[in-house]
Amino acid sequence: MSDAYFDVIVDVPALRDRRFTYRVRESVFLPYGAKVHVPFGRGQADGYVVGRVQEPEGVETKEILAVYDTRFLPPLHLLSFGCMLARHYCAPVASVWSCFWPPRVPKKPVSKVVSPCHPPEVARRDAGVGNEEVRDLERPGEGLSFLRRAGERTGYLIWGSREFRWRFYIQKIKEALEDKRGVIVVVPEVKRIESASKILEADLGSKAAILHSGLSDAVRRRTWFEILEGQRCLVLGTRSCVFSPVKDLGLIIVDEEESESHRAEDLPRYSAAEVAMLRADWENAAVILGSSHPSVVRYSRACAGRLLLVREDRSSLTPLVRSQVIDLLAKGRRRGLITKEMYEELKCVFDGGKRALLFLNRRGTSSAIICLDCGHAVTCKRCSVSLSYHAKKRELLCHICGHRQPVPDVCPVCGGYRWKLVGAGTERVEEEFKKKFPQVPLFRLDQDVLEESSAESVLSSFLQSSPACLVTTQVVLGYDDLLDVEAVGVLSCDSLLNLSDFRASERVFHLLSDLMEVARSAQSEGRTSFLIQTYNRSHRAVQGVFDPEDFYRQELDSRRFLRYPPFGHLFKVEFSGKSPERVREAALSFAAKCEELEGGGEVVEILGPCPAQIPKVRGQHRWQLALKGQDREALTDMCETAASKTVLPSGVKISFEVEDSL
């Protein structure tokens, strides 16, 4: 019996999109995009069929081991979309295609594959067979067609409260469903799904298909199949559901569009909001992005008319009784975390038997301990950061890798024995608070507390007492719907503002906006207040909380000047590995290749390379490089070419992070 040969891209990130030729019995037919299990190297790997080929010359072929149930094969338009997306994110095609498959799809040994007699649909899929590169198949044109379709807007940016946004979503979902078209709704957290699902069911009378990582593999696979079959046309889930194979897609909604949770940190490193815009365009669907404080990039897209801005009338918002920015630079301040102004406000709240929340973006007692004799700070062995001191457990903790150790008796450098604690965290706030308000019950909610008890239990005891105070970090924002406080105090936001990341200001703006909303959503009548202590009282991110348009204007001015998104594209290239010399060498040679490709032109600006913000994480040394430019294609080409032509020293990993710019 003769054999058939198929090219396969193996899902091994380091190999990018290299094709390998495998063999099957002549009677076995494999469609484009089929997921297969193959012998690879000395082991095995998953891969995807990209075409049928002639018997290769000069290479031994191995036989495909098994084929994943082809009833789960993503539709062709999604496969092509995947190729486009892979290029968009400089990610391997296989990594993107894997997003189109639910977990635990059954696979059949290739020997048991009963070949269908080449149904026409399957045959058509094979049209792309040949020697062309995967990426050349259905390669997208420059730009987005919804930018081209003059006058016809298919994208909305909804700026308003949760109630306002969902009213709009429901209206548009209704229209889409009546039109017999499918809808995907993406929310940032699993916790948001339950209430969203209730709203959808109550207002539309239809149950959404739910997809998120908390569900069992079997349930996810079943739901996925129902979507694929067209039995479910309304999908609700977290970021990965933006890839679900909804039939006749008419609308994609991304709520809390600005949330960091929409970004995937592992390959492919996509952002659900950006994928939603690209996919909606690809499938001629509408897209709705919603937020109570939109991202800078999306806001500017709306201003440019590429998204239709729908803004809630702000007069309907509950006004804050009091808000204040407390200047930490003012002279004559006593040391301490709670200023006199903050103290007065809290006292007022507690005297009225009410609850307050104090926010500080740092857990533990102090962020470092320093030897008073030589100035040495105790650092983590595996990471280039100082260890935080946690008084409750009397130990030092690395906030990057979790390494814990006791406080050394003597300084490892000079033998000194006097330590100074610097940089206060939530445990320190707790100590200071207890001295200032000994009679007010205090609760703490941060990552350390979550290791021992649930956020729900802490919050429910907090909400059962009044007066009461909650000292907390970023983790609280996932539970803001469970909160009911009359005052929110931000003890400091300066460490976040001073990060050298072009999005630092924006992050602080979103964080403060979220916290202000917590104060605003207090259920009780009467006073609610919001206070910020900061060394940067006139910073746009701080002032912008009270005047968002002004923040957007200033932030856009600054980005325009520096050509940051949305005024250009920014790709970060990261190198990591055990050997510091090799990582450095890899970064330098990649950068040199980029310079060479650029040839002194002005299309792509090459920034760096330089050691990363945190040069060592979990024993891995890191370098980075940024590529900035107006022409996205040029940036992508440079990344692809430089990546394929630079020989990375072994043990060095390269990864691309593409900033949102749509």
Q: Is 263 helix (H, G, I), strand (E, B) or coil?
A: strand
Q: Is 300 helix (H, G, I), strand (E, B) or coil?
A: helix
Q: Is 83 annotated as a binding residue?
A: no
Q: Is 86 helix (H, G, I), strand (E, B) or coil?
A: helix
| CA–CA separation, 408 and 478 (whole Å) | 36
Measured in whole angstroms, the distance separating CA 270 from the mean position of its chain's CA atoms is 7
Q: How far is the CB of 45 from DNA (least distance, A)?
A: 8
Residue 39 found at the interface with DNA (CB under 7 A): yes
Q: Is 401 annotated as a binding residue?
A: yes
What are the strands, taking DSSP E only, across 107-240?
107-109, 155-159, 182-186, 209-211, 234-237
Q: Is 411 annotated as a binding residue?
A: yes
Which lies closer to DNA via its Cβ, residue 61 or residue 379? 61
Q: What is the CA radius of gyration of the chain?
A: 27
Segment interacting with DNA, rule: CB under 7 A, options 13-21, 357-365, 367-375, 560-568: 13-21
Helix (H) or strand (E) holding 641: helix 632-645
| CA–CA separation, 237 and 296 (whole Å) | 24
| CA–CA separation, 79 and 56 (whole Å) | 25
Residue 59 found at the interface with DNA (CB under 7 A): yes
Of positions 12, 348, 391, 603, contacts DNA by CB under 7 A: 12
Binding-site size, DNA (CB under 7 A): 26
Segment interacting with DNA, rule: CB under 7 A, options 17-25, 119-127, 565-573, 607-615: 17-25
Residue 115 found at the interface with DNA (CB under 7 A): no
| Contact residues for 308 (Cβ-Cβ < 8 A; gap 6+) | 153, 155, 156, 157, 302
Segment interacting with DNA, rule: CB under 7 A, options 57-65, 168-176, 337-345, 471-479: 57-65
- H/E/C letters for each residue in 434-500? HHHCCCCCEEEECHHHHCCCCHHHHHHHHHHCCCEEEEECHHHHHHHHHCCCCEEEEEECHHHHCCC
Q: How far is the CB of 383 from DNA (least distance, A)?
A: 19
| Paired residues of 288 in beta bridges | 156, 253
CA triple 21-25-29, angle to 5 deg: 80
| Contact residues for 15 (Cβ-Cβ < 8 A; gap 6+) | 92
Of positions 14, 117, 150, 202, contacts DNA by CB under 7 A: 14
Residue 651 found at the interface with DNA (CB under 7 A): yes
Segment interacting with DNA, rule: CB under 7 A, options 213-221, 540-548, 623-631, 645-653: 645-653
Of positions 558, 579, 641, 661, contacts DNA by CB under 7 A: 579
Segment interacting with DNA, rule: CB under 7 A, options 7-15, 120-128, 135-143, 210-218: 7-15
Of positions 9, 11, 17, 20, contacts DNA by CB under 7 A: 20
Segment interacting with DNA, rule: CB under 7 A, options 207-215, 344-352, 500-508, 643-651: 643-651
Q: How far is the CB of 115 from DNA (least distance, A)?
A: 20
Residue among 511, 488, 495 at smallest CA distance from 349:
488
Quote the crossing angle between the two packed helices 632-645 and 580-598, to the nearest 10°: 130
Residue 352 found at the interface with DNA (CB under 7 A): no
Which lies closer to DNA via its Cβ, residue 269 or residue 322? 269
Phi, psi of 596 (to 5 degrees): -65, -45
Q: Is 371 annotated as a binding residue?
A: yes
Of positions 16, 22, 34, 505, contacts DNA by CB under 7 A: 22
Residue among 460, 484, 455 at smallest CA distance from 472:
455
Q: Is 90 annotated as a binding residue?
A: no
Of positions 1, 43, 150, 464, contacts DNA by CB under 7 A: 43
Residue 21 found at the interface with DNA (CB under 7 A): yes
Q: Is 159 helix (H, G, I), strand (E, B) or coil?
A: strand
Binding mask 62-81 for DNA (x = CB under 7 A): x-------------------
Burial class (CB in 10 A: 0-12, 13-18, 19+), 41: exposed
Which lies closer to DNA via its Cβ, residue 14 or residue 150? 14
Q: Is 398 annotated as a binding residue?
A: yes
Residue 112 found at the interface with DNA (CB under 7 A): no
Q: How far is the CB of 649 from DNA (least distance, A)?
A: 6
Residue 266 found at the interface with DNA (CB under 7 A): no
Cite the DSSP H helix spans in 563-629: 580-598
Q: Is 383 annotated as a binding residue?
A: yes
Of positions 25, 56, 303, 403, contacts DNA by CB under 7 A: 56
Residue 60 found at the interface with DNA (CB under 7 A): yes
Segment interacting with DNA, rule: CB under 7 A, options 8-16, 104-112, 286-294, 400-408: 8-16
Q: Is 117 annotated as a binding residue?
A: no
Place of tokens 């790709």: 571
Residue 25 found at the interface with DNA (CB under 7 A): no
Annotated binding site: 371, 374, 380, 383, 398, 401, 411, 414
Annotated binding site for Zn(2+): 371, 374, 380, 383, 398, 401, 411, 414
Binding site for DNA (CB under 7 A): 12-15, 19-23, 38-43, 56, 59-62, 579, 649-653
